[in-house]
Structure 1
Amino acid sequence: MRQLSFLGFILFLIFLGTAAKSEITPQAKLGRELFHDPSFGGTIDSNKASGMSCATCHADFDEEQEPDGQIRTGHSIIGVRDRGKSQWAKVTSDMFERAAGGAGFCYQRFLQRIPERKIDPSAIPEAQAEALMAYFDYMSVGKKSPEVKLQSISKDASKIAANQILKINGNAKNGWKFYARACANCHAKPKKGGIGPQMVKSRPPANLQKRLHKIASYVRAGGYTMPAIGEEKLSDQALADILAFISSLNKRQ
């Protein structure tokens, strides 16, 4: 009897947690809309907009517990507040909440294509920053913050890494699968552009190896509006497979 009472108490607590999670506030609801909106609630000039949204690079769920097969450049928003710091050097701990946990950096760098040297993370509108944090908190209820494993390397280091990747024997068939999971979100179909440029031009490049080296370097260090994808997200072998896939399409022209 005592065991049944204890079980009932546990079920009651689970019910309370579920009920609390189901009640999303208007502020958190706004944050959810902003998370998926490339115009960020109309605060971004259409002439400056990259077409990216927070959801382009980040999942609003725990990818380890609910894997969907996609390879994203950023971390999940689960447990953002618990981290208390951002990977971006410009987002200091004292402005962490004002910058919506680092979203203030992305708001300018990736959504508006503003050069990194000109970025002010606190330039994100305050009401929108608060709404994003409310949404992050809402989605994090009852969930453990996943470990963030994001590596960032310099452009010089990325060129060295690209040299090593080009030496790996890539598999074009596997490369198409990885391209679909890691690249297609921004580069759409290989022969068509999207948020990012198309990977296969109408005419093959004069120096295909040089182009593949540039792609590999961009993947590892990032460039322009492209966030970096480290080896912890996309292995050297997987990247070599993607390059083999892109190479095979260029050779079919």
Structure 2
Amino acid sequence: MMRKFVSLSLCGVLIMVLVLLTQAQMSDKAQLGRELFHDPTFKGTIDPLKATGLACANCHADFDDTANSDGLIRAGHSVVGVPHRGEAKGGMITGADFARAAGGGGFCYEHFLQRVPPDKVNPTAIPAEHAEALMAYFEVISGDNKGPEFEIAMLDDDAKKAAGEKIAAMSGDASNGWQLFGRACITCHPTVKKAGIGPQLVRSRAPRNVDATMARWATKIRGGGSLMPFYAPDILSDQDIADIIAFLREQIENIGK
């Protein structure tokens, strides 16, 4: 009887050890995902000649920024709740591809981290172990939190242009625009007179057609383009963008002063 009890106890201990080892392994996987999320080299796997310098964390919060904002405005929504969504990129990534593409992270891995043109991106090209690690991290930080509710409307070129022209024609508050620029744009444009990941916006000479330039910039903010991510209306409203445009216009008007 005693031997049977000891055997059962040992079995119980072994099961607990296996459970703890599994949890530790999952914890290691989630930790890798966390590191990848903040690492523009993706643990050194991205060719330095192709790297943009961006990381997932530049465009997405890894916490609930609607409940606990840090003041920054990121182009993408928080990754909290990703495992509950089941689709990404406005329904372009679904089914089995959703997990394999790290909940949409595979698109960013190719396009925003390595400059692959959007029409040539393969979201499942992200290494499988990295996709699994990111999803493990997203599961840890999400728990039962389904994250923010939002819908992404992918604009075609005509819709982007129309949106930009409408915004550029609006009156804006340059002072508020400067604050918004600091919260939303400085990651890629360190100052308006200095290039970063994005180009220098204000140069030594004003553009020939300032109005056309303002409309083009408004179009870029709302619709994205090249490495420029788009800012959806629930992240930057039309008025927010109009304020940023007013700030940039003011900077151009002050050239040489």
TM-score tier (shorter)? 0.7 to 0.9
Q: CA 1:112–1:196 in structure 2 vs 1: closer, same or farther (change >3 Å)?
A: same
2:4 corresponding residue in structure 1: none
1:174 and 1:242 in contact (8 A); partners too = yes
2:90 and 2:151 in contact (8 A); partners too = no
1:200 corresponding residue in structure 2: 202
Structure 1 residue corresponding to 2:99, chosen from 97, 100, 104: 97
Structure 2 residue corresponding to 1:54, chosen from 46, 53, 56: 56
RMSD value over aligned CA atoms? 1.7
Q: Deviations over 1:178-227 (max 9, x none)?
A: 11111112111111111111221122111111111111111111100111
Q: CA 1:195–1:160 in structure 2 vs 1: closer, same or farther (change >3 Å)?
A: same
Structure 1 stretches lacking a partner, 5+ long: 1-20
1:38 corresponding residue in structure 2: 40
2:252 corresponding residue in structure 1: 250
Q: CA 1:155–1:189 in structure 2 vs 1: closer, same or farther (change >3 Å)?
A: same
CA–CA distance in 2 between the matches of 1:182 and 1:39? 23
Which has the larger Rg? 2
Percentage identity across aligned positions? Answer: 48
CA–CA distance in 2 between the matches of 1:89 and 1:108? 18
Kindly report which structure 2 residues correspond to 1:121-140, keeping only aligned pairs within 5 A, or say none: 121-140=123-142
Task: Give the deviation of 1:139 after TM superposition.
Answer: 0.6
1:152 and 1:230 in contact (8 A); partners too = no
2:90 and 2:152 in contact (8 A); partners too = no
Q: CA 1:66–1:149 in structure 2 vs 1: closer, same or farther (change >3 Å)?
A: farther
1:186 corresponding residue in structure 2: 188
Task: Give the deviation of 1:88 after TM superposition.
Answer: 5.0
**Which amino acid is 1:76 matched to?**
S
- Runs in 1 of length 4+ with deviation above 6 angstroms? none
* Larger CA deviation: 90-99 vs 73-82: 90-99
CA–CA distance in 1 between the matches of 2:78 and 2:139? 12
Q: Deviations over 1:83-118 (max 9, x none)?
A: 111125542322111111010111111111101121
Task: Give the deviation of 1:42 after TM superposition.
Answer: 1.2
**Which amino acid is 2:191 matched to?**
K
Q: Give the match's secondary structure for 1:193.
A: coil
**Which amino acid is 1:184 matched to?**
I
Kindly report which structure 2 residues correspond to 1:65-214, keeping only aligned pairs within 5 A, or say none: 65-88=67-90, 90-214=92-216
Question: TM-score, structure 2 length as denominator?
Answer: 0.86
CA–CA distance in 2 between the matches of 1:145 and 1:234? 18
Task: Give the deviation of 1:156 after TM superposition.
Answer: 0.9
Structure 2 residue corresponding to 1:222, chosen from 224, 233, 238: 224
